[in-house]
Amino acid sequence: MSIKAIAKPARTLLSPNDHALILIDHQSQMAFNTKSIDITILRTNVAILAQAAKAFKVPTIITTISKDTFAGPLFSEITDAFPNAEVADRTTSNGWEDEDLIRRVNAVGRDRLVMCGLWTSVCCNGPVLSALEQGYEVYVVTDACGDCTIEAHERAVERMIQAGARPMTSLGYLLELQRDWARLETYDLTVGIAKQYGGPFGVGLQYAKAMFQSHVDKA
């Protein structure tokens, strides 16, 4: 008996209303010794995530570690997107052990979480493994994470995947939320974020629009 295809998305694909985003410790001090990814690329990827979550109204939890005494301020890419956000500052390297952060997770009430942070092997790894053990479905945006070495980052990602986490990228996250270019209510927002932060893909969008407009003007 042959299988009949159905025009519907996989259950594991993300949509704006089925998850929460947790941004963990994207702070100055944590970035100083991040060597597994270029810091400019990392900040760009974090900007894509923050702007996507804002555009699609995804519940977003922002957490820092010892902001005033150790790790310093958040990336401006996050505060630009969420200037009035209540940030959960904590002392535990594993945010999942912090009562305030857990209160916010429970208040959002989503069983599916998307996480990323600095460093991958510590402040991201701890909450991901802890949430998975408690039954949450967890996605990790690996290119919005970073660590002291490539080895540390890669081993942490492997460990999280082995525990059941699903890896993805920042641009993939944005495009997965849009998923259908006929969704006109978020089309301009998605294209705008991609053009500003999406690297070659964004440049391609700018080029295509310019060339199309040029042909229209000459017609």
Query: Over the chain, what HEC string results?
Result: CCCCCCCCCCCCCCCCCCCEEEEECCEHHHHHCCCCCCHHHHHHHHHHHHHHHHHCCCCEEEEEECHHHHHCCECHHHHHHCCCCCCEEECCCCHHHCHHHHHHHHHHCCCEEEEEEECHHHHHHHHHHHHHHCCCEEEEEHHHCECCCHHHHHHHHHHHHHHCCEEECHHHHHHHHHCCCCCHHHHHHHHHHHHHHCHHHHHHHHHHHHHHHHHHHHC
What residues are paired with 112 via a beta bridge? 137
- Nearest Cα residue to 48 out of 169, 212, 134: 169
Percent residues over pLDDT 90 in the chain: 87
Whether the predicted pLDDT of 217 surpasses 70 = no
Taking residue 53's Cβ as centre, other Cβ atoms within 10 Å add up to: 24
Enumerate the domain spans of the chain. Answer: 20-177, 180-218
**pTM score, two decimals?**
0.93
pLDDT at 199: 75
Taking residue 22's Cβ as centre, other Cβ atoms within 10 Å add up to: 27
| Residues annotated as part of the active site | 123
pLDDT at 69: 85
Distances (CA, A) of 151 to 140, 156, 159, 168: 17, 8, 12, 19
Percent residues over pLDDT 70 in the chain: 93
Whether the predicted pLDDT of 185 surpasses 90 = yes
- Nearest Cα residue to 113 out of 97, 100, 130: 130
Name the amino acid, one letter, at 166: R
Burial 176-192 (b: 16+ CB within 10 A, else e): bbbeeeeeeebeebbbe
Whether the predicted pLDDT of 145 surpasses 70 = yes
- Strands 166-168, 137-141: pairing kind: parallel
Residue 1 binned pLDDT confidence (cut-offs 50, 70, 90):
confident
CATH superfamily of 20-177: Isochorismatase-like (3.40.50.850)
Q: Average of pLDDT values for 137-141?
A: 98
